[in-house]
Amino acid sequence: MTEAKKKNEWLEWGKAILIAILIAIFLRSFIFATSIVEGESMDPTLEDGERVIFNKAIYIIGKPDRGDIVIIQRPLKNYVKRVIGLPGETIEISGYDLYINGKKYDQTFLSEQAEMETGNFGPIQIPDDSYFVMGDNRAISKDSRNGLGLINEDEIIGRSEFIIFPFSDWSRTK
């Protein structure tokens, strides 16, 4: 192999590596990122220490929907919670039941125990630019009921898509 051919091959490899790095930076910055679940507020759906991939681009073209597991960015910490109430809705929790605009809502993602630990709350009217979120482990969750308050739309930075760590728990979040 001639010296010119070797130099050309190295140049091509360098270009390929540079392009791969730029694509990875773009994807990490604008499309997907990871977050670590801290605490037990989303048990059993997500457990303390699990790492999730979240979709950062989804809410550029759409809005959060009821049931989405979202990443909420606050100055000191990110939170992982489930969207329960949408802008303009009225939320009330009474006798272990969740009511949205006066109609009982079936929380299929909750265990029976979690439903019984929800407690009473509201009614509260959600402003047009906000969301009401709760953790799936209602007894210990810091959420819209007790500490996080209503979540502004611009604080929601993505939707959880996959659990990627530990590898034995790899699955789609629901």
Encode pLDDT of 84-98 as tens digits: 999 999 999 887 788
pLDDT of residue 81: 94
Helix, coil or strand: residue 78: strand
What are the structural domains, with CATH classification, of the chain?
3-172 (2.10.109.10)
Residues whose CB is less than 8 angstroms from the CB of residue 152 and which lie 6 or more positions away in sequence, other chains included: 129, 130
Most confident of 20-34, 40-54, 145-159: 145-159
pLDDT of residue 108: 77
Q: Reply yes or no on whether 15 is catalytic.
A: no
Write down the catalytic residue from 35, 81, 130, 144.
81
What are residue 74's phi and psi, to 5 degrees? Answer: -120, 160
What's the mean pLDDT when you consider all of the chain? 85
Write down the catalytic residue from 35, 41, 130, 141.
41
- Both tokens of 58, joined, read 């989804």
* CA–CA separation, 39 and 103 (whole Å): 31
pLDDT of residue 32: 76
Average pLDDT over residues 40-51: 87
Q: Reply yes or no on whether 6 is catalytic.
A: no
Say which DSSP state 86 is in: -
